[in-house]
Amino acid sequence: MKNYLLFFIIIIFACIQVTALNYFRIFSVKPDILFISMVAVSLLYSPIWAISFSIFAGMLKDLLGVSAPCLNTVLFPIWCLIIIRLGKKISLDSNLARVILIFLLIIINDIVVRTINLSAGSFTSSGIFFKILFLESIYTALVSPLIFRAIQHPFFAS
Q: Is residue 38 a contact partner of residue 76, using CB atoms and an 8 Å limit?
A: yes
Give the confidence band of 1 by pLDDT, cuts at 50, 70, 90.
very low
Give the confidence band of 98 by pLDDT, cuts at 50, 70, 90.
very high
CATH class of 2-156: mainly alpha
- pLDDT digit string, tens, across residues 49-72: 999 999 999 999 999 876 677 899
| DSSP 8-state code for residue 19 | T
The domain spans of the chain are 2-156
Task: Give CA–CA dist 7/67, Å, rounded.
Answer: 22
Q: Mean pLDDT throughout 5-23? A: 90
Question: How far is residue 14 from each of residues 26, 74, 120, 148, measured CA to CA in Å?
Answer: 19, 17, 25, 15
| DSSP 8-state code for residue 75 | H
Q: What is the pLDDT of residue 48?
A: 94
Q: What is the pLDDT of residue 64?
A: 87
Tell whether pTM > 0.85. yes
